Amino acid sequence: MPAPLQVLHHVLPMGYAIDGLRRLLYGGDLARLWPDVGVLAAYLVGALLLSTVAARRLRVWTVSRIQPELAL
C-alpha cells in the first residue's frame, strides 16, 4: 500500500472491516478480531450520536425556517 494511504488505513473504518473479514474468512487468531470490532462499534456509536444531535437540532422550528413567511 502506498505511504499516504497507510495513514488513512488507520483512520477510516473500512480498513478495520476488511481486517476483521479477513480474520473471519481465512482463519487465524480470533483474539485479534476484537480490536477491529471495538473500533467499528466506536464509529457506529459516534455516527448515531452525531445523527441524533443533527436530527434534534433540525426538528426545532424557528421563525426564520418557516417558508414562506407568515403574514399575521
In a domain, 24, yes or no: yes
Is residue 20 domain-resident?
yes
Structural domain of residue 47, as residue ranges?
A: 3-60
Is 44 domain-assigned?
yes
* Grid cell in block for residue 71: 403574514
21 assigned to some structural domain: yes
Give pLDDT, residue 47: 97
In a domain, 55, yes or no: yes
- Tally of domains in the chain: 1
- Give me the average pLDDT of each 10-residue run along the chain (72 residues): 84 92 89 93 97 85 69 63
65 within domain boundaries = no
Residues 43 and 13: beta-carbon distance below 8 Å: yes
Has residue 71 been placed in a domain?
A: no
| CA pair distance 13, 38, nearest whole angstrom | 11
Residue 51 within any structural domain of the chain: yes
pLDDT score of 57: 82
Provide the residue type at 12 as one letter. L
